[in-house]
């Protein structure tokens, strides 16, 4: 949902925009939440994956309910079908993955080596054309530092593998959480709505709806963006003749979920693969860089506004500042979570600001409380 | 699998919903979908449900109790008085009273159609239970379940048509009296 549509539907749209106090509270609230989320990442990550899964599985559940199935049965059937599909894919891929597992370390070493060679060749070429760079022995210095780093990458493979193993049980929570979201989501919405006083009910209902709509638009936009990025990158890599274009495209698209850092990592990955698989043809790596740059441009100016941009249309300055703040407060998880969290906190903050500054609503709430007090003490 | 798609059994709650004029044409399966979108609120006698001038977000259906619909005295605005000054008179129910509605009826229906302000105040005339249907849920229904939304829209159109006929006949009676 775009910000313009939020504003169009926002209650009492004639009110001026939120003031600096509300915005300071929104930014502080977002940072605080990110800080808390970082501490309970073992729960936040499966919760987030479950939300994505919920919005992905919700349309078939709704279709089954409409065809006469109960909500419980529809949620169970769709979740079960998803798990079976996941199991089939896992079983199909398992032999291939296990056969390659032993070669992973060699493969990583080979690609890192290929990237190092490309960088070395590029720097030496630069040195030939630029005497100041040659005098600084830039290529030798970078090569020496990279040799140390590549050694450490290989050393870190084992902890990364152990980390994945440690995270697996937590990630398995995601489908179960998604099942309960699908089955009991409306009860939770009613439960929240019932806790709100009558005077604020319509506004709060609007708030709940906005949060749901913002989250749905964001996560569905993210899924669509990933598909678009994967298809475009895979098509480009296939045209260049780079092996495994679909897998590479998918990995880069998923890495792009982390703003800026993810895109750089994805680009690096593509360049490493191109440089290693075509060692005699460095232009292939430059083509890969060009392709990645083109996809980033398409992403920023076409795909993003078509998908996620529709859900969270924040001011670019606030977006960039909050991404940096998210990274500073909560690291990589902060970078990933900052925009959806900010979107939700923004809706909550602005709506609460509108409610507490409306004297008529507050008066109605006081009046309703007085009526309830009188009713409670009527026969005392 | 066949039993999963058998015609839905009704529950007492769905039966109650089916008795409401807005949902009278819906099948049990359709009612189940709509039921997931509805909220229930309890109001005490004298409690304001919404004010005249509020932005309408939802339609209210009376499950039990009575609701008084009233408007501010137009004369107060003309004389340049504060509109709030007319509130005590409206509260007494002797000025600006438009209608008193009972169980099964609904009000605030224009909120389903546009973003316009509430044209009157709604206040609980007795302790009442209201079913609330939010506009954005109705708009979502138009996209996802057009058949259900069209049945509700038809009932809404019938209701508005009946109200227009009543208004037209009362206006012609007034003209004859003048």
The domain limits of chain B are 14-29+39-177
Q: Which residues of B touch A186 (CB under 8 A)?
A: 36-37
- In sequence order, the 6+-apart residues with CB closer than 8 A to the CB of A69 are A77, B4, B5
Distance of CA A12 to the CA centre of its chain: 32
Across the interface, which of A65, A198, A360 has its CB nearest the CB of B51? Answer: A360
Q: What CATH number matches the domain at B14-29+39-177, 2.60.120.10, 3.40.50.150, 3.40.50.2300, 1.10.8.60?
A: 2.60.120.10
Q: Cβ–Cβ contacts within 10 Å for residue A118, how many?
A: 21
Across the interface, which of A71, A194, A375 has its CB nearest the CB of B44? Answer: A375
Phi/psi for B38 (5° steps) reads -90, 150
Contact A270, A296 (CB under 8 A): no
Distance of CA A37 to the CA centre of its chain: 14
Cβ burial of A304 (10 Å; 0-12, 13-18, 19+) is middle
Distance of CA B109 to the CA centre of its chain: 5
* Residues A353, A22: Cα–Cα separation, whole Å: 7
What distance, in Å, lies between the first and last C-alpha atoms of chain B?
Answer: 69
Across the interface, which of B5, B39, B55 has its CB nearest the CB of A68? Answer: B5
Contact A321, A21 (CB under 8 A): no
H or E segment to which residue A185 belongs: helix A138-194
Across the interface, which of B36, B57, B145 has its CB nearest the CB of A205? Answer: B57
Q: Which residues of A touch B115 (CB under 8 A)?
A: 8-9
Establish if B6 touches chain A: CB-CB under 8 angstroms: yes
Kindly give the confidence (pLDDT) of every residue in chain A, 380 residues in length, as a single tens digit, with 9 standing for 90 and above.
333 333 333 344 444 556 777 788 888 898 899 888 888 888 888 888 888 888 888 888 888 877 777 788 889 999 999 999 989 988 888 777 777 666 766 777 777 777 777 777 777 877 887 777 777 777 778 777 777 665 555 566 667 777 777 777 777 888 889 999 888 887 787 787 888 899 888 888 777 777 777 777 777 788 888 888 899 999 998 998 888 888 888 888 888 877 777 778 888 888 888 878 887 777 888 888 888 888 888 877 777 766 765 556 567 677 778 888 888 888 877 887 887 788 778 878 877 888 888 888 899 999 999 999 998 888 78
Find, among A327, A345, A346, A348, the residue nearest to A336 by Cα. A327
Residues A324, A330, A331, CA angle at the centre, nearest 5°?
70
Contact B112, B135 (CB under 8 A): yes
| Interface-testing mutation among A198, A372, A375, A376, with chain B (most B C-beta atoms within 10 A) | A198
Which residue on chain A is closest to B135 by alpha carbon? A206
Find, among B153, B165, B104, B91, the residue nearest to B130 by Cα. B104
Establish if B39 touches chain A: CB-CB under 8 angstroms: yes
- In sequence order, the 6+-apart residues with CB closer than 8 A to the CB of A133 are A123, A126, A127
Across the interface, which of A193, A202, A367 has its CB nearest the CB of B50? Answer: A202
Establish if B137 touches chain A: CB-CB under 8 angstroms: yes
Contact A272, A111 (CB under 8 A): yes
- In sequence order, the 6+-apart residues with CB closer than 8 A to the CB of A53 are A82, A174, A175, A178
Per-residue model confidence as pLDDT tens digits over A276-322: 888 777 788 888 888 888 888 887 777 776 676 555 656 767 777 88
Q: Is the ipTM of this complex over 0.90?
A: no
Q: How many residues are listed for chain B in this entry? A: 178
* Residues A112, B50: Cα–Cα separation, whole Å: 66
Question: Distances in Å between the alpha carbon of B151 and those of B27, B130, B148?
Answer: 10, 21, 5
Q: Which of residues 65-124 of B touch A (CB under 8 A)?
A: 115
- In sequence order, the 6+-apart residues with CB closer than 8 A to the CB of A297 are none
What's residue B9's pLDDT? 60
- In sequence order, the 6+-apart residues with CB closer than 8 A to the CB of A179 are A75, A76, A79
DSSP tag of B41: E
Find, among B107, B123, B105, B127, the residue nearest to B68 by Cα. B123
Q: What residues are paired with B67 via a beta bridge?
A: B101, B124
Establish if B15 touches chain A: CB-CB under 8 angstroms: no
Q: Which residues of A touch B55 (CB under 8 A)?
A: 11-13
| Alpha helix positions (H), A241-281 | 245-255, 261-277
**Are A213 and B132 a contacting pair at CB < 8 A?**
no
* Residues A150, A328: Cα–Cα separation, whole Å: 26
């Amino acid at each position: 949902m775009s910000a313009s549509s939020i504003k169009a539907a926002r209650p009492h749209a004639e009110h001026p925009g939120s003031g600096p106090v509300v915005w300071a509270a929104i930014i502080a609230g977002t940072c605080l939440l990110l800080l808390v989320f970082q501490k309970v990442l073992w729960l936040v990550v499966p919760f987030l994956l479950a939300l994505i899964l919920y919005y992905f599985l919700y349309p078939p559940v709704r279709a089954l309910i409409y065809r006469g199935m109960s909500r419980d049965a529809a949620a169970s059937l769709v979740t079960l079908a998803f798990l079976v599909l996941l199991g089939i894919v896992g079983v199909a891929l398992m032999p291939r993955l296990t056969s390659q597992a032993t070669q992973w370390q060699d493969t990583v070493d080979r690609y890192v080596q290929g990237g190092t060679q490309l960088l070395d060749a590029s720097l030496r070429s630069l040195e030939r054309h630029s005497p100041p760079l040659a005098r600084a022995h830039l290529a030798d210095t970078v090569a020496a530092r990279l040799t140390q780093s590549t050694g450490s990458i290989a050393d870190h493979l084992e902890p990364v593998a152990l980390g994945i193993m440690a995270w697996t049980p937590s990630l398995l929570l995601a489908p179960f959480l998604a099942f309960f979201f699908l089955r009991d989501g409306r009860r939770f919405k009613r439960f929240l709505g019932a806790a709100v006083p009558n005077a604020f009910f319509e506004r709060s209902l609007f708030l709940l709806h906005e949060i749901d709509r913002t989250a749905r638009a964001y996560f569905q936009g993210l899924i669509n963006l990933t598909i678009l990025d994967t298809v475009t990158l895979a098509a480009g890599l296939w045209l260049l003749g780079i092996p495994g274009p679909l897998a590479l495209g998918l990995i880069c698209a998923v890495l792009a979920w982390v703003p800026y850092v993810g895109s750089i990592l994805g680009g690096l990955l593509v360049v490493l693969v191109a440089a290693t698989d075509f060692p005699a043809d460095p232009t292939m790596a430059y083509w890969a860089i060009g392709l990645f740059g083109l996809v980033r441009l398409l992403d920023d100016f076409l795909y993003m506004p078509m998908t996620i941009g529709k859900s969270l249309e924040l001011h670019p300055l606030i977006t960039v500042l909050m991404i940096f703040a998210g990274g500073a407060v909560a690291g990589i998880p902060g970078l990933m979570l900052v925009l959806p969290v900010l979107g939700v906190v923004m809706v909550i903050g602005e709506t609460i600001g509108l409610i507490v500054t409306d004297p008529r609503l507050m008066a109605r709430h006081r009046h309703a409380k007085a009526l309830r007090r009188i009713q409670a003490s009527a026969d005392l | 699998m066949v039993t999963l798609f058998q015609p839905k059994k009704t529950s007492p709650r769905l039966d109650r919903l089916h008795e409401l004029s807005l949902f009278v044409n819906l099948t049990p399966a359709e009612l189940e979908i709509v039921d997931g979108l509805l909220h229930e609120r309890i109001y005490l006698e004298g409690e304001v449900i919404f004010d005249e001038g509020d932005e309408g977000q939802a339609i209210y259906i009376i499950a039990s109790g009575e609701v008084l619909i009233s408007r501010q005295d137009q004369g107060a605005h003309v004389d340049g008085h504060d509109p709030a000054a007319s509130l005590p008179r409206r509260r007494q129910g002797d000025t600006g009273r438009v209608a008193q509605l009972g169980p099964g009826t609904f009000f605030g229906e224009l909120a389903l159609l546009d973003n316009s302000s509430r044209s009157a105040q709604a206040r609980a005339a007795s302790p009442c239970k209201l079913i609330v249907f939010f506009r954005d849920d109705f708009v979502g229904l138009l996209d996802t379940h057009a058949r259900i939304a069209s049945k509700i829209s038809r009932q809404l159109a019938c209701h508005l048509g009946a109200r227009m006929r009543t208004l037209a006949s009362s206006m012609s009676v007034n003209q004859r009296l003048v």
